[in-house]
Structure formats: C-alpha cells, structure tokens
Amino acid sequence: MSNDKDTALRAESSNAVDVGAIREELRVYAETNGLQGLEGRTIQGLDPSGMLAVTETRRRIEQLVGQYGADMELVEQLTNTLHVGGIWQYAEQLSHGSPEATVWTVMGEATVSGKETTGDLSETEFAADYKRVIRQLDDALSDPGGFAAVAHEHLITRAREQFVVDDGVAVSDKPEGFLAMAVSGHRSGVVAAGDGLKYVGAAELDFDSVAEKNGLTKIVKEDRGRDVTFYVSGDGADVIKQLYPGFGIVLTGDLGLAKQLAATVDQETISNLQSEESRYVEGVSPRFEPGHGTLLIDVEDVSSVVSESTRAFAESHGYTLKPEVHLTVIGFKQGGALRKMLKQHPELERQVLELTERTDWSFNKTGEFYRVERQSEGEDVPREAIIEIVECSSAVGFITALNDLTGLQLEVQPPHITLATKGNPKGIGINTQDDLGRLAHPIDMPQI
C-alpha cells in the first residue's frame, strides 16, 4: 500500500464514528445478502461479515484481498456462509489455508485481538471497539505476511481451548465454539449459550429422526417475519427451532437432546470431508539456502504425497519416483535477486530466516496432475516430470512480507510438487503461470 493511501486511511479512522450510519450499512448489507441480525453487530462489535458491510472496513479488506492473492467474490461468499453457520464445509480451508480463508482469518483476528469489552456494548464502547478493528486492519496492511501468520496460529491455538468432547460430541460454551470444533476435525457440535439455549451445527443435521425419536411434531410458523420450522412437544411447546439444514436451536436447553441432534451428522458428508482431509500435508520443513537465495519446503514423508495409483501410473510410463519431494517457493531464477540483496545487506538474512521459520508451510494436494516437458538447446534428451498442483496460501503472505522486507518484487511461483521424472535429470523450472501453460499437459484423473 502506498504511503498516501496509508495516511488517508489512518486519517479516516481518526474521525468520529457515526454509529447510526454503520447500523444502516449493516442493515442494507444483511438485506442484500440474506443475513439475519447483522445490525446487532453495533451492540457486539463488528465480525467479518460486518466488516464487509461497512465502507471504511471494506475498503481495507479489498486491499488485503489483493495482498493475499484472493478473490473478493469468493471471500464474500465464504464469509457470509460462515456467518449463517456454514462453517463445516470450509473447515479444511480455514485450518490449512486458501487465499480466501487467509483473508477471513485475518478479519477474525481483527474481530477479537485487543478487544477490551465483552458482552453488549454501549454506543461509546462500540465506537472505541470500531476504531480498534480499524487499527487491526491497518496493522494487517502494514505487514500482511506477519499478521496472517499470527492470525492463523491464534486461530488454531484458540480452537484447542474452546470445547470439550462429551459422549463423542464436541460441546462449547463459547460463541466461536463451532469454528474451533471444525478446524479441530469435528463435523458437528453444540454451543451452550449463556441464556440456556443449545445451538447445534453441522454441514447437515437429521432433524426429523430426532423428532421421531423424541415424540416431537414438525410445524412451520411465522417467526420474526419469515416462515421457520419448529419441532414441538405434545403440549405444543417449542422444543427445537431449525434455521438451516445444518443449524438448529434446542429451545428447552436440553443438552442431551442437543447431543442427539449433533450425532445425526450425515456419514456420507463425513466420508467426503475425510477424503478431502487426506489431501492435507503438514509434515514439512523449510530449507532456506542464502548462498543461492532459494527456499524449498521438504516433504518429510514422501509416501504422504505419492499414492499407490500414482506410483503405478508413473512406473508404467517409464518414470522414476523421486526419493525426495519438495515445494519450491523461491527457485534459482528468482533466488538470484534475493542472493544479491542478501550479499549487499547481510543483516537481512536473519530476518528472512525468522520469517521463513514462523510461516506455516503445510499445504493441500489438489489431485490436479500434469506431465511437463522441456528440452533446451544442446540437450539430446528432454527433461520430463509428473507434477501435482498444490494449494499453499502461506506462500502468498510470505512473498508479500519478503518483498516488504527487501524491497524486491518477487512473484509467487505456481505451487506444485514434482513426484517423478524421466530422461534428462535436470530440473525443468516452472517459475511463472506462463511456464506452466507452455510446458504442462494435464493427465486425466482416471489414469491416476
């Protein structure tokens, strides 16, 4: 972000807070996006959806989207889905990273970091908290990579402290309990509110089976201006309120009933999510070589990224599996510029190393395979390889932070791992999306 923009944003944030105008922006955004109760954020403090609704915070988020290489439309979709309880379908992204999830995680950090007042806020308290959120977003813009790394670490650390497992069901008394459960691997859970209500969430819940088991009757009636499904007892008392297919409220506060409902999470959904989880690779270690300016992320267990079907395909087509597999964050081509910078400013080496070590380099396999080939002038045998595209959102924040630190303009290389090679053993070098487009040929998934 330029100094002029930075100065303008900070001057803007020093102005008096018009709570009424913010409440109206929240109302309009909620109405446009089908969200409920967003105006209440002027009592609780802005959350990520609230930040997208308000002009002053949204402007900063749009800049962060550019910094993290995310898509604003996808950020908005993810954020608003999470706002209505759709946490479970995004659990993998939130835990292990995508550019959009990184933006959301940063907004989540801005929601809670440094928050001094909990519970309902007066207008004066909201105004102070609003300025705190602005400062947090400005800090993120000043150091996108560092802020994102801290935000992700805090997300995972907080998750472990937010719930307990009771009869096999995750249960929390914290408002953010669902998020903690999802990023920790649970696919449903119960949040016990201070008013005695029990909130139940999952990708999808079987309300009807619980109703049948407990002698409840399903009815639809108007509630706050819209039709809502309720499950009522024999004497007509409302017992369960279903707001979405994967979100309901046990109005009686019966924890046992809430756990019954949470336990109905669809097994096919769990299987699908577990299949997605098998693509997550966390056993990695960074290898920064200042003498070359290169940064490789070594996979500690090669078997975690090479399936038997991939092995069979590679060997049947004359490829040799690599004994070691790594993700190249900075290759030799871009590494030359970094090596030169470090030679001129040796004091930067320690800072680059610290940035490397505090970054979470875990990544997700995509199942998107390519055959790549290159034959340079004077080479009798072409270089060939099988690669898999991976998702490593931390690379975006890292390169952004590295450029801020060094003044360089390094680019994020197409994230991929090389699984097998044949022919000329020299590396092929895929430094840009243009390289990938010219050299890569998709391999049909059925073959893999």
Amino acid 61: pLDDT: 96
Res 280 pLDDT > 50: yes
Q: Indicate the burial class of 283 (C-beta count within 10 angstroms; 0-12, 13-18, 19 or more).
A: exposed
Confidence of residue 34 (pLDDT cuts 50, 70, 90): confident
High-pLDDT (> 90) share of the chain, %: 51
Q: Which two tokens stand for residue 271?
A: 């299987």
pLDDT band, very low/low/confident/very high, at 15 (cuts 50, 70, 90): low
β pairing state of 363-374 and 440-442: antiparallel
Pairing assessment for the beta strands 284-289 and 383-391 based on DSSP bridges: unpaired
Residue 209's nearest CA partner among 252, 268, 168, 264 is: 264
Hey, what are 326's tokens?
A: 């790594």
Average pLDDT, the chain: 86
Q: How many CA atoms lie within 13 A of 108 on its CB side?
A: 28
pLDDT one-digit tens code per residue, 137-196: 999 999 988 898 888 878 877 787 889 988 888 999 988 788 888 877 678 899 998 789
Closest CA relative to residue 128, chosen from 206, 240, 16? 16
Closest CA to 99 of 146, 134, 64, 147: 64
CA distance 123 to 394: 37
Residue with tokens 């988020």: 61
pTM for the model stands at 0.51
Is pLDDT above 90 for 217? Answer: yes
Is residue 97 within 8 Å of residue 362, measured between CB atoms? yes
Residues 99-128: tens digit of each pLDDT: 898 899 999 999 999 988 777 899 999 999
Rg, Å, the chain Cα set? 25
Higher pLDDT, 220 or 440: 220
- Cα separations (Å) of 433 from 63, 171, 293, 306, 414? 23, 45, 21, 24, 6
